[in-house]
Amino acid sequence: MSEERYPGWYSFIKEKHANFIKALEQLGEAVRQEGPLDDKTAHLVQLAGAAASRSEGAVHSHARRALKAGATPEEIYHAVILLTSTIGFPPTSAALSWVYDVLAEEAE
């Protein structure tokens, strides 16, 4: 992800607490390498977790990363829609709107 794609708050934290963010990014890489899931699947799983925890920024991030890893918009929407019976419609709807933000941005 290029620097200009980071949200303002993340960029602020990265600038002020570089070692913290470096460790966080290294942890993310380490956990992705620990198992057999490919990057696309890993980001779809993380997208679902972000949606379940109602983290708009993380939904945006993992939707972008899933696209970069080869996920289609349909796969991304499906990963979120699958959550309906688990987390309920309102949080699923919110997550879908956040995914839509990213997909609309990518279409431009």
**Digitized pLDDT (tens) for each residue of the chain, 108 residues in all:** 344 466 778 889 999 999 999 999 999 889 989 999 999 999 999 999 999 999 999 999 999 999 999 999 999 999 999 999 999 999 999 999 999 999 998 888
- CA 107 – CA 31 distance, rounded (Å): 30
- pLDDT recorded at residue 106: 87
Residues 45 and 75 grouped into a single domain: yes
Domain identity same for 24 and 7: yes
- Please give the distance of CA 55 from its chain centroid, rounded to a whole number: 9
Contact 18, 53 (CB under 8 A): no
63 and 100 within one domain:
yes
Total domains in the fold of the chain: 2
Regarding whether 93 and 75 lie in a shared domain, the answer is yes
Give yes or no: residues 66 and 102 share one domain: yes
Give dist(CA 35, CA 22) in Å, integer.
21
- CA 95-96-100 angle, to 5 degrees, is 120
Same-domain status, 104 and 92: yes
Q: What is the pTM of this model?
A: 0.85
Domain range for residue 51? 38-108
